[in-house]
Structure 1
Amino acid sequence: MNKIILGCLGVTLLLSSCVSQKKYADLEAKSKETQDLLNSATVKLNTCLEEKASASSRLKTLEDQNAFLKSNNQELINNMGNLTTLSSKGAQNLEKSLESLQEKDLTIRKLNDAITRRDSVNLSLVQSLKGVLGNLDDEDIQISVEKGVVFVSISDKLLFSSGSYNVTNRAKEVLGKVAKVVNNKPDFDFMVEGHTDDVPYNGGILLDNWDLSAKRATAIVRILQNDYNVDPKRMTAAARSSYVPVSTTDKAKNRRTRIVVLPKIDQFYEMIEEGMKDPAINK
Structure 2
Amino acid sequence: MKKLNIAILLTVLIGSFSSCIVLSPKKYNALLAQRDSLSLGWEAAQLKIESLEDEIKRLQGDTTRINARIAELQEKLQGLDANYASLRSNSSTEINKLSDDLKKREARLNEVEDILRKRDEATNALKNKLQKALLGFQQSGLSVDIRDGKVYVSLTDKLLFGTGSIIIDEKGKQALQELATVLKTQPEINISVEGHTDNQRVLNLGQIKDNWDLSVLRATSVVRYLTDVEKVENNRITATGKGEHQPIAAGSTPEIRSRNRRIEIVLSPKLDELYNLIK
Match of 2:265, as an amino acid?
I
Q: Against the structure 1 CA distance between its residues 235 and 60, is the aligned structure 2 distance closer, same or farther, given a 3 Å change threshold?
A: same
Match of 2:257 among 240, 248, 251: 251
CA distance in 2, matches of 1:260, 1:180: 16
CA distance in 2, matches of 1:63, 1:97: 50
Alignment deviations for residues 99-151 of structure 1 (CA, whole Å, 9 cap, x no partner): 22222222222222222222221121111012223455489333233333222
Match of 2:99, as an amino acid?
L
CA distance in 2, matches of 1:58, 1:138: 110
After superposing the two structures, state which structure 1 stretch, 184-193 or 251-260, moved more: 251-260
CA distance in 2, matches of 1:54, 1:178: 110
For residue 177 of structure 1, what is the aligned residue in structure 2?
Answer: 178
Q: Against the structure 1 CA distance between its residues 270 and 52, is the aligned structure 2 distance closer, same or farther, given a 3 Å change threshold?
A: closer
Match of 1:256, as an amino acid?
R
Q: Against the structure 1 CA distance between its residues 59 and 151, is the aligned structure 2 distance closer, same or farther, given a 3 Å change threshold?
A: farther
Query: Which structure has the larger Rg?
Result: 1
Match of 1:233 among 235, 239, 254: 235
Q: Is the 8 A contact 1:110 1:272 kept in 2?
A: no
CA distance in 2, matches of 1:41, 1:135: 135
Match of 1:194, as an amino acid?
G
Report matched runs for 1:32-71 at 5 Å. Answer: 49-71=50-72
CA distance in 1, matches of 2:161, 2:184: 24
Secondary structure of the residue aligned to 2:191 is strand
Q: Against the structure 1 CA distance between its residues 270 and 83, is the aligned structure 2 distance closer, same or farther, given a 3 Å change threshold?
A: closer
Q: Against the structure 1 CA distance between its residues 174 and 70, is the aligned structure 2 distance closer, same or farther, given a 3 Å change threshold?
A: same
TM-score, length of structure 2 as denominator length: 0.74
Secondary structure of the residue aligned to 2:180 is helix
CA-CA distance at 1:194 after TM superposition: 0.4
Secondary structure of the residue aligned to 1:157 is helix
Match of 1:63, as an amino acid?
T
For residue 225 of structure 2, what is the aligned residue in structure 1?
Answer: 223
Match of 1:117, as an amino acid?
K
Alignment deviations for residues 10-49 of structure 1 (CA, whole Å, 9 cap, x no partner): xxxxxxxxxxxx949974x777776666666666655555
CA distance in 2, matches of 1:199, 1:31: 144
Alignment deviations for residues 37-82 of structure 1 (CA, whole Å, 9 cap, x no partner): 6666666655555555444434333322221221222232244334
Match of 1:229, as an amino acid?
K
CA distance in 1, matches of 2:80, 2:167: 85
Secondary structure of the residue aligned to 1:189 is strand
Match of 2:273 among 269, 272, 275: 269
Match of 1:215, as an amino acid?
L
After superposing the two structures, state which structure 1 stretch, 32-41 or 145-154, moved more: 32-41
Q: Against the structure 1 CA distance between its residues 203 and 44, is the aligned structure 2 distance closer, same or farther, given a 3 Å change threshold?
A: farther
For residue 190 of structure 1, what is the aligned residue in structure 2?
Answer: 191
CA distance in 1, matches of 2:123, 2:37: 119
Q: Is the 8 A contact 2:140 2:159 kept in 1?
A: no
After superposing the two structures, state which structure 1 stretch, 160-169 or 238-247, moved more: 160-169
CA distance in 2, matches of 1:247, 1:170: 26
Alignment deviations for residues 197-220 of structure 1 (CA, whole Å, 9 cap, x no partner): 222211331111111001110111
For residue 8 of structure 1, what is the aligned residue in structure 2?
Answer: none
CA distance in 1, matches of 2:201, 2:248: 18
TM-score, length of structure 1 as denominator length: 0.73
Match of 1:269, as an amino acid?
E
Report matched runs for 1:1-283 at 5 Å. Answer: 23=25, 27=29, 49-137=50-138, 140-205=141-206, 206-249=208-251, 250-265=256-271, 268-269=272-273
CA distance in 1, matches of 2:205, 2:274: 49
